[in-house]
Structure formats: structure tokens, C-alpha cells
Amino acid sequence: MSPDTKKTFQLDGKEIPFREGQTVFDAAMAAGVYIPHLCHNPDFEPHSSCRLCTVIVNGRPFASCTQPAVAGQDVRSDTPELNEMRRALTDMLLVEGNHYCPACEKSGNCRLQATAYALGLQDSHFPQFFPRRDVDASHPDIILDRDRCILCGLCLRISRSVDKKSVFAMTGRGITTTIVVDSPSGLLADSKVSREDEAVRHCPVGALMMKGEAYMVPIGQRRYDVSPISEDSVREFHAREEAHNG
Amino acid sequence: MWREEAPPAMDAVRGILESHERDPGELLQILIKVQHSYHYVPDAAVELIADHLRVTRAHVRGLVGFYSFLSSTYRGEYAVYISDNITDRMQGSTGLATYLCNRLNVKLGETRQDGRVSVRFTSCTGMCDQGPAALINERALTRLTRQRMDRIAELINSRTPMEEWPAELFVVEDNFRRSDVMFRRAFEPGAALKAAMLRGGDETLKSLQFEEAVDPSSGHAWRRGADETLKELYRSDLRGRGGAGFKAAIKWETCRDISAPERYVICNADEGEPGTFKDRVLLTSYADMVFEGMTICGYVVGSTRGILYIRQEYWYLKSHLEAVLARRREADLLGRNVLGTGFAFDIDIHWGAGAYIAGMESALIESVEGRRAKPRKRWPLPVVAGLNRRPTVVNNVETFAAAATIALKGGAWFAGHGTGHSAGTKLFCVSGDCERAGIYEYPFGVSVREVLRDCGGLDAQAVQISGPSGVTITRAEFDRILAFEDLSTAGTCMVFGPQRDMFDVVRNFTQFFRHECCGLCTPCRVGTSLLEMLVEKVAAGKGSPVDVEQVQSICQLMKTTAHCGLGQTAPNHVIDSLVKFRGDWDKRMKTTDFVPAFDLDAALQEARQLTGRDDAMAHL
């Protein structure tokens, strides 16, 4: 029996090794190939909702974050067509919310902004939605600014599975989908959330932010100011793998 | 606008909770009952329910905000929902809605100040052959006219209890216009199940009474019947009737062969695709056949629990369906010891609450589990890990009816009808511009022209096959056939006469998808809204070729990247319309230059309100 590590698939013509049970996304990132993504954080269960990580597997589109790697399959990711679609998806996330990058504290640390840069999204091509969304600043330590929420669901998943609090849920549907907070008033202040929660630390955008931590790092020296998200993500992925392995 | 003066008494909520287990899976069923008795889900009820089921309030609110027939605000003693399918519109529903609102002095979408009534639109209620249709307090209204609206307004204004309303308002016809080999004869309850259990037995066995035959002393191992019935299902080549056309036998066998402590059989009666109403007719007149198909499935795959998941639009069928189930239990066709064989199987009814997406297999399972009907990740498939993460067969109502027929008559008999890739007969729901709307049973392979001839719709300019998510075909294509190898369909034919403006169809369908999108994935959530905005921009005479290009690229994006079938098929009608009815778009486009959708003067409205100004200088 040959060891699992010998198995490979083709990604944009490159041989990618994978372990049994690994997703296309994980195998690609482990091999140093960046696949754009927003709702997925490799530390947590994938969600496959943002669809940026869509790749073409044997001619059919799949979200790579949930697609199991299979030996010999032909995967396309870095193609002009897919990158154009990723630009459009990122554009959609920008117009459906209210994103004001120049005035946002998350600027430079924001995965949405960094991904837009990485994909070369220079300006918006869709009409702006200008939705009315509630900002919840009731909590002493945490702000929930729904204007910037991209509905990735990370805070829900982490609060449920890691913090064991299930502070967040989604309500509404379609374009009116919105985050709700579990408390009698629906406000963060009387919920179980606390600044120690993992759930409030992994927001890819500026929807969940800590009070009292703003502008500690000057604009221009922030995470994605220093290196593009394409490199940062792969580096972070490797660091995680190393930590796991040993 | 009506406002809650004081929180209502919670006695009814407590009563409802007592009748349900402390199982989070009961949440949606509880919320439906609360909505029916309070006409909304009060905050106080949210607290009690969350406490009872040990789920978070946010989770409860998540469902209330998701399902159309649940609401956190009061919908009035009489909640009227006008069906908003294109066929209803073609029959004048828009004008009738306005007329009713005027008669009731209520604003569309709002609850009247005295809390008596609200009127709003809802997605197709499945009465397209007898529209314009509506729902009022869980009952179905059909064939609406101004006279009927007058009557309804009087009954509401006089606060007449629903039980005293005249029955003629609620008459729902089957309109079964053509039957073929499956539905020509009445179905005898139990016959198919007995045939399944004895399948594979020799001549001597067949000569015995059923009780003797299944007695261990007869030598017939009754599990053999299950295996032999599965073989018949393979022979029949039955493909799923819900639209996707997956082979039923493969699904059943996969479910059977996975080792699990429990497995489930779910009948999908969500029937949300606008223009579709065959499941309604089957559950009205062939419920035994459907339940028997489910029971046979349970027998074949080794399941003890079946669930009928049915859309709330068909709530009026509740007592009928419960009576059929009770009768079947009485006749030992369901229960702990089915037909004395020791096989245990029973069927529960789970109600939907207004969500087209719940027709999607994995979303339906989420809904049965008491959650928002959100499609699951692609893998594992529900047949492997479905309800409670156990192997689950989900089939359409008509698929189970066909399975019962196959159990009775054999796979070869079934495969002898239809075409090479589409065995058997199929029910078609015909509505729109034709003389005889209703249900037609044809062998697969029938041409669209033949259907149009039979229903009296031959002068049509177009037919929408399989609902908004399907295909639009033009007169030149009427010789195409309805079968998986050509026009693959769940059985819906909406007919559009020569007088129709096909752009109105696009408007209706884009609104439908925007309303029904679950919101999970980016391309569908934003794409359905963008498509509606751009289509409405064209409708307003502000469209230009640039907008059409953008529409096309959004369609492509949705088809390629959307998470589930809803998002992948939602642009189909737009793509078809742009190819086949481009003229209806072009005539609305007054310019070749780009015109912004943004209306600067309208955007100043808020500023005018805040400053209390409305003079000429406050306008552009």
C-alpha cells in the first residue's frame, strides 16, 4: 500500500500532493498556492458561503474549501475567468454593505479590503445598495457594526463551537439577512459575549471590533500593508500546519 | 400601523409547548402554532420557547425572520396573502390586491390600525389553474374576482369567524384533465405494499392469503420482498420527479447499504416552484398512494420513520391528510406491526412556513430539524448523512406515488412507458393562457405542442417549462419533447399567449428569486437583488446596453458560483429572455448611453423631511 502523502492532483498544471481527507483548498495552501477566500478561516470548519474559493474541478465548479481532494483530478483556480468572478463577488460584498475603507479602523487589517487589492478590484461596477443596518455599541468592550458585515458566519460558528455561548445567529433571509445577538434586548451589552471570546477576534472585516484597541498600529504598518493577503495567508497557513505537526 | 399595547397572555404558548417534546427539532412546528394563535410571535413567546427547547433566543428569532409566514410583528386577526405568481398577475391579481386594500382601508404590506387585517403578497400558492389565488388564515382562496373581494372585505369588517365563512370561497378543484396509465384507476390502499412484501415469491405463495404468505411457516423470507422490490425499482428506471431526475433505486440502495442505527424516509411536498401544483392534487386525491410509496421505501431501505414535509400553503389539507394517516394506521398499513409482518413504520407531518428554498433537499432537512432552511454544504449528501446526520431518502411526492405503482405492477411495466432515458408517465401542471388549465398525465416524451393542443393553448408565443428556474421556449420549439433527454422538467408548463409582454414575466421571476433567496452565498444573495434592480431599471426606461451586459455577466457568475440549485438556476429565465425575447427588452431602452439608476432628487427626500422643506429650491 502506498502512503497517502504520495497522492496528488493537478492544480493549474502543477502537481499538488494531498493527504486523505484534505480539501482542495487545504492541499493548495499547504503547497503554497493561494486561493482567495473570505468566509473560510482554516482554524474553523469551512462554510462555503462567500464562494471566492470556487475552483473548476474536472470541468465543474466547486467551493475548494469544502471539496475533498481526489487523486488525479484536474483543478483550475488561477484563470482569468475565475479571477474575474472573484472580483465580481468581492465587488458584490462591497456594494451590499456600507464600506468606507478610508475611514474604517480595520483598514490594513481587513481581509475584504486586502482581497479586493489582491484581485485588482480598483472600483465598484455595481450599484450601491446603501442598506440601513444597525450599529450596536452598547457593550463596553465590543462594537458590532452591521454596516461592514459580510455575513461570513465566522462569529456564529466560533461562538457556538469554541466559546460555547452561541451569542450570534442570523435572521432575515436573502438580501435582508442580518446578524442577531442572543440577549433579551438583542443588544450586545446584555448578552454573554466578552472580550475574551474567540468569536470577536476573527471577524475578517470591521463588523466586530474591540473598543480601546483602535489605531494601536498606524495605517501603513498594518498586516496587509506589510504584505499582500496572498502571501500572508499562505505564510499563516504554513505556521498553523507546523504548530499542528509539532 | 398597529402597535402592541401590552404583551399578550402567554397561556396559549404554554399549552403549545406542553404538547411538544423538549426537542429543538420541534421549533418550527411550535412557531407555526404560535403564529396561528397570536398572528405573530411575541417577544414573550420567544423567551418561553427558547427556554423550553434550550435554544437561544437569537436562534428562535433567526427562524421568525427567515420564514415568510412567521413574523415578529402583528399580522392581524385576518392575514391575507395574495399569490404573486405571473399566472396570478395575468389573471388580474395586482388590481385585485389594490381593490381589496381599498375596500379594507389598509395599506398593502401593513396591518390595519385596529389590528383586524393585513394584506400582502406571497409567492405562488399552487393554485395557478384556478387563480387569482390567495390565502387567508391558513385557508386557500381561489378564482378571486372583485365580487369575491367585496364578500371577503365584508366578512373581515364584520369580524365573521373563519368557520362561518361560506365554503364556496375555499373550493379547490383537482382539474385532473388527462390521466394515463398511473392515475387512470383508483388506488387500493395496501395492495402495493402487499405486492412488495410478496415480491419474489413463487406461484404457491401467490395462491395463499397474504397473512398465510407472510407467516414464517410459508417459507417466504419477507425481507426478500424488499430486495426484490428494489430490483423492480432498478428495472423501472424511475427518476426523481422533483426535477433533478436522480435515479430513485440508486438513492434507496445507497441509503439501505450505509450502516446506521436509524434511517429516514422524507417526502418532499414543499412544491414551491411557481406554476407547480401536482403534489397538491396527489395529496388531495392520491394520498394513500403517496403514503404507501413512502412505506414501501421504508420497507426497502429499513427505516421506521417517514416524514411528509409539506408547504404551509396547503394547510387546508391538514385534517384530510391526518385522517388518511389515521385510516392507514387503523388498517395496519402503518404502525408498529405493519400488516402483521413485524415491520414498523409510521409517518409524521412537518409543515413548512413559507420558504421556496426548503424544497432543496438539504435545506428541507434543516427545516425538519427546526432550523432556518439553509442548504447544507455539498458533502456529504443527505442520502449518506441527512436528517439527524443519518441516511435519508428524500423523494418528491410524485416519485413515491410512482414507486407504489412500480411495487404493484413491476418495473418492466413502468419502463414500458415513456422514452429511453425517461421511463414512465409524468404529471404536468398546465396554467396560464389556455382554455383548460389543470393536471395532465402523459408518458414522458410528449411534445409541448401536444400538451398545448390538449389544453387549448396552441396560439401561445412561449411556454415556461419547469417554472422560473426552468426553460423558456418559443413557438419554434414547440415540437421539443418533455423528457430528461430534452426538456427536463418537474412538470410545470406556464403558457403565455401572444398578447403577453414577456418582459413582465422576467420582472415577476426576478422578484420571486430575490424574495426567496436564502442569503447564504454571495452570488445568489447579492445577484438576485442586482438582477431585480437592473431589470426594474430597464422597466423604468433607464436601461442601456451596458446594463444588459451587466445582467448577462451576473447571470453567468450565479450559474458558476452559487452554492445551490436555487442560485444556479435563478438566472435561467433572464438568459432565455435575452436570447428569445430581446425585443421586449429593447423597446424599453430609450438610449444607448448609460443612465444612472441613482435618482438624485429622490435621494434628497430624507434631507427634505428632516428640514421640513418641500419648496422648489429643495428639489433639483
Helix and strand tally (H, E) in chain A?
Answer: 6, 10
Domain boundaries along the sequence of chain B: 11-66, 78-173, 191-415, 425-496, 502-600
> pTM of this prediction?
0.96
| Angle (CA) A56 B389 A168, round 5° | 80
Q: B568-612 pLDDT, tens per residue?
A: 999 999 999 999 999 999 999 877 777 777 788 888 888 999 999
Return d(Cα B260, Cα B262) in angstroms, integer: 5
Q: B501-530 pLDDT, tens per residue?
A: 999 999 999 999 999 999 999 999 999 999
- Is residue A88 very low, low, confident or very high in pLDDT (cuts 50, 70, 90)? very high
Closest to B522 (Cβ–Cβ): which among A50, A169, A181?
A: A50
Nearest chain A CA: its distance from B529 CA (Å): 7
Q: Is A181's CB within 8 Å of B58's CB?
A: yes
Cβ-proximal residues to B474 (8 Å cutoff; 6+ apart), any chain = B461, B462, B580, B581
Closest to A174 (Cβ–Cβ): which among B58, B61, B528?
A: B528
Residue in B517, B541, B537 with CA at minimum distance from that of residue B527: B517
At B610, phi and psi to the nearest 5? -65, -35
Q: A114-144 pLDDT, tens per residue?
A: 999 999 998 899 999 999 999 999 999 999 9
pLDDT at B78 over 60: yes
Return d(Cα B287, Cα B279) in angstroms, integer: 9
Class at the top of the CATH hierarchy for domain B502-600: mainly alpha
Cβ-proximal residues to B230 (8 Å cutoff; 6+ apart), any chain = B249, B252, B253, B256, B300
Return d(Cα B346, Cα B232) in angstroms, integer: 23
The CATH architecture that domain A91-215 belongs to is 2-Layer Sandwich (3.30)
At A176, phi and psi to the nearest 5? -95, 10
Q: Is A184's CB within 8 Å of B47's CB?
A: yes
Class at the top of the CATH hierarchy for domain B78-173: alpha beta
Closest to A88 (Cβ–Cβ): which among B65, B557, B597?
A: B557
- CATH number, domain B425-496: 3.10.20.600
Nearest chain B CA: its distance from A218 CA (Å): 32
The pLDDT score that the predictor gives to residue A246 is 66
The pLDDT score that the predictor gives to residue B223 is 78
Which of A116-120, B212-216, B339-343, B553-557 has the least mean pLDDT?
Answer: B212-216
Return d(Cα B497, Cα B495) in angstroms, integer: 7
The pLDDT score that the predictor gives to residue A1 is 44
Which of B17-31, B202-216, B558-572, B598-612 has the least mean pLDDT?
Answer: B202-216
Residues of chain A with CATH 3.30.70.20: 91-215
What is the average pLDDT across B167-172? 97
Residues of chain A with CATH 3.10.20.740: 4-78
CB–CB of B198/B213 below 8 Å? yes
User: Looking at chain A, which residue has its C-alpha nearest residue B597?
Assistant: A127
Dihedral angle of Cα B18, A170, B565, B514, to the nearest 10 degrees: 110
- Is residue B2 very low, low, confident or very high in pLDDT (cuts 50, 70, 90)? low
Q: B98-118 pLDDT, tens per residue?
A: 999 999 999 999 999 999 999
Average pLDDT of the residues of chain A: 95
Q: B261-281 pLDDT, tens per residue?
A: 999 999 999 999 999 999 999
Return d(Cα B228, Cα B213) in angstroms, integer: 16
In Å, what is the CA distance from B588 to each residue of A7, B94, B532?
A: 57, 21, 16
Cβ-proximal residues to B424 (8 Å cutoff; 6+ apart), any chain = B182, B236, B238, B402, B414, B415, B417, B418, B443, B444
What is the average pLDDT across A222-238? 96
Q: Is B528's CB within 8 Å of A68's CB?
A: no
Q: Is B550's CB within 8 Å of A125's CB?
A: yes
Class at the top of the CATH hierarchy for domain A4-78: alpha beta
Nearest chain A CA: its distance from B554 CA (Å): 8
The pLDDT score that the predictor gives to residue B4 is 67
- Is residue A108 very low, low, confident or very high in pLDDT (cuts 50, 70, 90)? very high
Asked, as a colleague might, if the bond just before B380 is cis with ω within 30 of 0, I would say: yes
CB–CB of A135/A98 below 8 Å? no
CATH topology of domain B191-415: Rossmann fold (3.40.50)
CB–CB of B568/A62 below 8 Å? no
CB pairs under 8 A between A and B: 130
- Is residue A48 very low, low, confident or very high in pLDDT (cuts 50, 70, 90)? very high
